[in-house]
Amino acid sequence: MTMTTPRTRRNRSQPPAGGGLVVDGLSISFGGGVTQTVSDLSLTIAPGQCVALVGESGSGKSISARALLGLTPAEATVTSRTLRYDDLDLATLSAAQWRTVRGAGIGLVLQDALGSLDPLRRVGREVSEPLAIHQLGTTRERAETVRGLLDRVGIPQPDLRARQYPHELSGGLRQRALIASAIAAGPRLLLADEPTTALDVTVQARILDLLSSLQDQGTGILLISHDLAVVAELADHVVVLKDGRVVEEGPTEEILRSPQSSYTRRLLTSIPSAQSRGRSLLTGDPLPARTPASDSDTVVSVSHATKTYGRGRSHLVAVNDVSFDLRRGEVLGIVGESGSGKSTLGRLLLGQLPPDSGEIRVLDHRWQDVKGTPRRTLRRRIQMVSQDPLGSFDPRENVEQLVGEALPRTGRGSRRPRVIELLESVGLGAEHLTRKPRTLSGGQRQRVAIARALATEPAVLVCDEAVSALDVTVQAQVLDLLEHLRATTGVAIVFISHDLGVVHHIADRVLVMQDGVVVEAGEVTSVLSDPQHPYTQELIRAIPTFESRPPHTAERKD
């Protein structure tokens, strides 16, 4: 593992003058002006300065960034008083002129690397494309540049990875390849839309170091992120958006230390951490006390489980001699870097993969011994909530169908009342029955996924990065919901996450995995507050933090 050192945030309160981006009065609407998505947004980014756009999903952050690259949908109406980058009037550029600006002048990093990278093109060719488009270097020089870029963003074995396709890389490696492509042609302005959301903390630390070094070299950055700790570490200035309008802006330290808007305060108090443990993230009210479970309440027992991929010299031990028990109503956090074996362990628990050795028991049934109908019955008692519910939903089905198909097929009676009951248990209602997945917000889709998982009345939920892609307030809603379900139904939860703050907030115990091995385990506060293993210590050192977070208080009127 690449060791990192704590980063010291530099004072850029006086960024270099001259040039950069000037946005004045940017407005974006759809439907001939009927739907106003962004209204009168103004900001400036000087060379070497980082400005952060923060706000909930739907606040207008991403569409604003796309407008700065001329990438808004054809049906969008974009107006502004000033939209200038250096000496270019962006509002008047032709399609041909935009092609000279994108990549070389202004770069873009999106969150969805799998959707952004061409699945039919090798990673090296993808990264070198901006170099070819802007005619930078010879073919041989471009290959060497690509190798250096992949190494710079922390991709191991860059020569091998350059020959691979995107689907052969992990999510974290794909995101790093996307960042390498964005900076390949040396843009002086980088639009980074959730660039570290899919990354574990040590890789995130390396990317933050990279972005910070780009600032030192004079690159301006527009950072879009729901992670306010990342914002605190990297940004010089923060603009808070709500429903397309600026509700607050100012120097980062000032906004995060003394927010004036109740909306900004709500964003800050929604961040899960050790301090929020035992309290609702939405209201600050105490959560129900956690009753210790006894050994007789064990619902999952893993004993010396091992899983290996491949054979011979190319084999990979993904899970190596892992043992633990999970009891009714307990939340077990599993943390570690990408490739540490977390998701493979989750698939073993779900019976999707057989262990090579050891055993896994669910509700006192050994997975290896259960076949046919009994196996299908047992599978209904352990359900999964994934990071991307949209990818697991049939886009042609509505919410009623998505949730209803998980219900037992008994009798001919309508399943609608039970579907409504399940939706209400996750904070939705009958008005959502006819909605299709793509018409739902990210938080609503995750709630539907949880409702569908609950339809089988499971004893265990396996949550694999279930909140990592959500903004802080939606994440808070889902975490509060999981706490409520645990307290009211007694469901046990395996919570796989790279976000140690989330794990500290919700988990009772934690396993820390490295290269398939559990290197440290125990009560969550003990492990994360006083880690004993060097790897755990390194994970915690890599977490971006900010010191001046306000305490959770009741909402005040602006």
CATH topology match: 1-105+187-269 vs 295-381+456-541: yes
108, 56 contact by CB (below 8 A):
no
| pLDDT at residue number 167 | 84
Which H or E element spans position 363? Answer: none
| pLDDT at residue number 112 | 67
Amino acid present at 76? A
Domain residue ranges of the chain, discontinuous segments joined by +: 1-105+187-269, 117-186, 295-381+456-541
Which H or E element spans position 523? Answer: strand 517-523
Sheet containing 237-242: order of strands:
106-109, 189-193, 220-224, 50-54, 237-242, 245-251
| pLDDT at residue number 413 | 60
Kindly state the greatest CA–CA separation across the chain: 73
351, 412 contact by CB (below 8 A):
no
- Mapped onto helix, strand or coil, the DSSP state of residue 526 is helix
The DSSP 8-state label assigned to residue 7 in this structure reads P
What φ, ψ does residue 23 adopt, rounded to 5°? -120, 125
Which residues, given as ranges, of the chain have pLDDT below 70? Answer: 1-18, 112-114, 171, 198, 292-295, 410-413, 442, 546-558
Amino acid present at 110? L
Which fold, 1-105+187-269? Rossmann fold (3.40.50)
CA-to-CA dists, residue 540 to 128, 531, 544, angstroms: 35, 9, 9
**DSSP notation for 447-475:** HHHHHHHHTT--SEEEEESTTTTS-HHHH
CA-to-CA dists, residue 62 to 58, 292, 413, angstroms: 9, 44, 45
Amino acid present at 488? T
CA atoms lying within 13 Å on the CB side of residue 54? 31
Whole-prediction pTM value?
0.81
Tokens of 151: 């190494």
Out of 3.40.50.2000, 1.10.3080.10, 3.40.50.300, 3.40.50.2300, the CATH code matching 295-381+456-541 is: 3.40.50.300
What φ, ψ does residue 224 adopt, rounded to 5°? -110, 120
